[in-house]
Structure 1
């Protein structure tokens, strides 16, 4: 019996280590900047990305240098439409946990986002304060189409979303 328990424990320990739940991505994985084979500059403006469409290759590691030229915090988030919808709900929940007296009724205090209660650390995104720069390096695993988006409440709906094609 001891041998069976030992064998079971050993087999569990030999399983591959997976990313934390909710942090597994069909389109690739985060990578260190030193592994990047290309750097892409992305500008975040108030309700737009420049460029609005990007193409990368499957297997390519891309370092995104993201500059916020807008007046409020924005994020650069890689994912599909379903992932963005889920993330938007999480952002709304974070907004609800913020001090509503500082926000007023229905208005959004963007100053509390990147440096405050809306700060979060998902491997597929970077939140950038106005006038600041952030980076995200990603290895794209297989061909397909995803989006890059800002999921700060209301920004995606206002058009702050772009198409990212992962070519063969």
Structure 2
């Protein structure tokens, strides 16, 4: 009997995460800061504006506080005169990605945590923050983060 329990536990530990996930929830897209949200479910709307001003590039607001488990619909607006993007991630991930973007400045993102917008355009990201921590959002187009285009998300 003990051998069967031990073998069952060993087998369960060796299975990939999504197989062990509870019904209707896959951990396949889960990241350190959460999972893609469900656009069909209600969530808090947070407006984020991208712009250039006085030789600086910025997000307004640049600091956000969010409750753990909260789904947020980011309503994005590029009020600037050039393309901008927003990439939500850990600071380490975004800094690493910025190095890749410097090598490939025209890199397109097709990720649920990122959106690139042409001037005067709008877009949305729906995200559910499942973990407590401090996270980053940045414009990773070369030179933009360095010009001040980044912000902090505090998940409590």
1:15 aligns with 2:25: no
Separation in 2, partners of 1:58, 1:68: 27
Aligned to 1:137: 126
1:34 aligns with 2:44: no
1:156 aligns with 2:140: no
Separation in 2, partners of 1:51, 1:18: 30
Aligned to 1:166: 155
Q: How many residues end up aligned between the 2 structures?
A: 134
TM alignment of 1:1-168, pairs within 5 A:
15-16=19-20, 19=28, 24-46=30-52, 47-95=57-105, 117-167=106-156
- Once superposed, which parts of structure 1, at least 4 consecutive aligned residues long, lie more than 6 Å away? none
Separation in 2, partners of 1:93, 1:122: 19
Aligned CA distance change for structure 1 residues 62 and 129 (closer, same or farther; 3 Å): same
Indicate the SS of the match to 2:19.
coil
Separation in 1, partners of 2:119, 2:109: 17
1:40/1:62 contact within 8 Å kept: yes
Indicate the SS of the match to 1:43.
strand
Aligned CA distance change for structure 1 residues 57 and 127 (closer, same or farther; 3 Å): same
CA apart distance, 1:34: 2.1
Indicate the SS of the match to 1:90.
helix
1:36/1:137 contact within 8 Å kept: no
CA displacement, residues 20-77 of structure 1 (integer Å, 9 cap, x when unaligned): xxx6411101112222421111100021011111111000000000000011111111
CA apart distance, 1:18: 5.4
CA-atom RMSD in angstroms: 2.1
TM-score under structure 2 normalisation?
0.77
Separation in 2, partners of 1:64, 1:77: 12
Separation in 2, partners of 1:25, 1:12: 19
Q: Which runs of 5+ in 1 are unaligned?
A: 1-7, 96-116
